[in-house]
Amino acid sequence: MDYLDEVAAFAAETRSADLPPAVIARTALILADCIGAIAGGAAEPEMIALQVGAGNSTGAVIIGTGLRTDPGRAAFLNGTAGTVLEMDEGNQFCKGHPGMHTVPAALAFASSTPVSGQDLLAAIAIGYEVGARVGIATRLRPAMHPHGTWGTIAAAVAVARLAGRDAAGMRQAMNMAASFCLATSRRTMLEGGTVRNAYAGISGQLGLTTHDLLSAGFEGDRDGVGQVFGKVVSDTFDTAAMVESLGARWEVTRNYFKMHSCCRYNHATLDALAMIVARDGAPDLGLIARVEVDTYALAVELDDPAPRNTLAAKFSVPFAVATALVNGTTGVDSFTAPNLGNRAILALAAKVVLRENKAMSAALPHKRPARVTLVFADGRRAMAETQTNRGDWANPYPEPEIRAKYLSLTTRVWDEAAAAAIWDAILASAEAPKAATLLDAMAEAGQTQTRAG
């Protein structure tokens, strides 16, 4: 049995009832977080425009609306909406966002296939697991963005699991999905190329396309995973990492949740800045001469002090620091278009100095360090340092904070009572005989809000 046979057998043959309770519970929390990010993102102007003409009365739910559409398009729209706010969960070890690649495809497929809540959660956990392990096993070319790459495998595995494919079929699904890896550009996130927001949505759609092709008799190559991720988009693929502690270590339990509405590479800096404010109080912004940020190389890359749009702002450490100080928050509203032209924010962002600390770079992926020093005009200095991001598996947010975030996002499109009821249903979904009940509740919440509007 080679590594791919072992992974395929694990993905196809592990019984839903045999997943550890902690894995099922964490997956339910990830599902809730993803649905929150999707619903919140659905309210953005570009998503509203993208939804035009997509809806009908049957099919898969377009989350955050009262509309339904065919499963492929629903996966695309939901995966894209879940990316635009930069509030979806992730995994620091695979350096990406497995949840938003897996959940939309699984929900879309479950809309047309009777599955239990337990089986839905197991499919999400296992799709997440396989996709994340591909990310861990490979080193994508530095010019590539991780969205839309190994995430297609995560989506395809979740769908294949729900479709009841055996180990041989699961291997075919993984190999075929590998060939759908996008030629993603890392520059999109730095320059505000919002096409990047569609990468995860496309992956979800292609996960469903993989199922359709397999059902029609198409095939992939013998080891498409190793070929694509070891020779095409990377020169390194560690097959041992694909099977290390398989079934014993679960990547959903090593995920992180986000409260700052921006790139994860900003978060250590923002956490350290928050430590200064909590300790010393909000500083007099007029007295700040310089903000020194020492951190790891990936974060130092986010150095644009005057981003051109909201996506670029979310990938700018100087802007994130400045909007946090000016607005007193790093939530969704601090990264909106009006803030891009805010003179106080831009003036402060220009004072941020980024420096790589090589010891901090070497601490990745287990740590995400940053040191922030506010230098005042009178010579005073205020400093704080962190080794991990809040929300990491090693420093997790308590569930009530995750729920509060979910409500802040979902109430952009649903009334609070409906949003709270859906949260409760998600966390109890392991006991639900039909996953469709949750999907119907989300559709009804969108329809109710539309009628009220």
d(CA 314, CA 117): 34
d(CA 105, CA 9): 21
pLDDT at residue 451 greater than cutoff 70: no
Residue 452's pLDDT is 61
Q: Is 374 left (phi over 0), alpha (psi -120 to 50) or beta?
A: beta
d(CA 92, CA 21): 23
For residue 174, the Cα-to-chain-centroid distance in whole angstroms is 21
d(CA 90, CA 128): 10
- The two structure tokens encoding residue 372: 């922030």
**CATH match of 3-259+397-452 with 1.10.510.10:** no
pLDDT at residue 1 greater than cutoff 80: no
Residue 54's pLDDT is 80
- The two structure tokens encoding residue 75: 């996966």
The predicted-structure confidence for 201-255, as pLDDT tens digits, reads as follows 999 999 999 999 999 999 999 999 999 999 999 999 999 999 999 999 999 999 9
pLDDT at residue 74 greater than cutoff 90: yes
The predicted-structure confidence for 354-401, as pLDDT tens digits, reads as follows 999 999 999 999 999 999 999 999 999 999 999 999 999 889 999 999
- DSSP symbols for 239-292: HHHHHTTBTTB-GGGG-B---SSS-GGGHHHHHHHHHHHHHH-S--GGGEEEEE
CA angle 442, 448, 452 (to 5 degrees): 145
Residue 448's pLDDT is 76
Q: Which CATH superfamily is domain 264-386 in?
A: 2-methylcitrate dehydratase PrpD (3.30.1330.120)
- The two structure tokens encoding residue 313: 């702002």
pTM for the predicted model, two decimal places:
0.95
Q: Helix or strand or coil: residue 384?
A: strand
The predicted-structure confidence for 418-432, as pLDDT tens digits, reads as follows 999 999 999 999 999
Residue 43's pLDDT is 96
The predicted-structure confidence for 27-59, as pLDDT tens digits, reads as follows 999 999 999 999 999 999 999 999 988 877 679
For residue 106, the Cα-to-chain-centroid distance in whole angstroms is 15
How many other CB atoms are there within 10 angstroms of residue 53's CB atom? 7
The predicted-structure confidence for 80-99, as pLDDT tens digits, reads as follows 999 999 999 999 999 999 99
Q: Which residues contact 71 (CB under 8 A, 6 or more apart)?
A: 59, 60, 108, 109, 111, 112, 208
User: In DSSP terms, which residues pair with 56 in a beta bridge?
Assistant: 68
pLDDT at residue 346 greater than cutoff 80: yes
pLDDT at residue 112 greater than cutoff 90: no
Instruction: Please give the single-letter amino acid code of residue 173.
Output: A
User: In DSSP terms, which residues pair with 185 in a beta bridge?
Assistant: none
The predicted-structure confidence for 120-172, as pLDDT tens digits, reads as follows 999 999 999 999 999 999 999 999 999 999 999 999 999 999 999 999 999 99
d(CA 62, CA 57): 11
- DSSP symbols for 123-182: HHHHHHHHHHHHHHHB---TTS-STTSTHHHHHHHHHHHHTT--HHHHHHHHHHHHTT--
- The two structure tokens encoding residue 259: 């409260």
How many other CB atoms are there within 10 angstroms of residue 209's CB atom? 22
The predicted-structure confidence for 303-322, as pLDDT tens digits, reads as follows 999 999 999 999 999 999 99
Of the pLDDT bands very low, low, confident and very high (cuts 50, 70, 90), residue 64 is very high
Q: Domain segments of the chain: what residues?
A: 3-259+397-452, 264-386
Residue 55's pLDDT is 73
How high does pLDDT run on average in the chain?
96
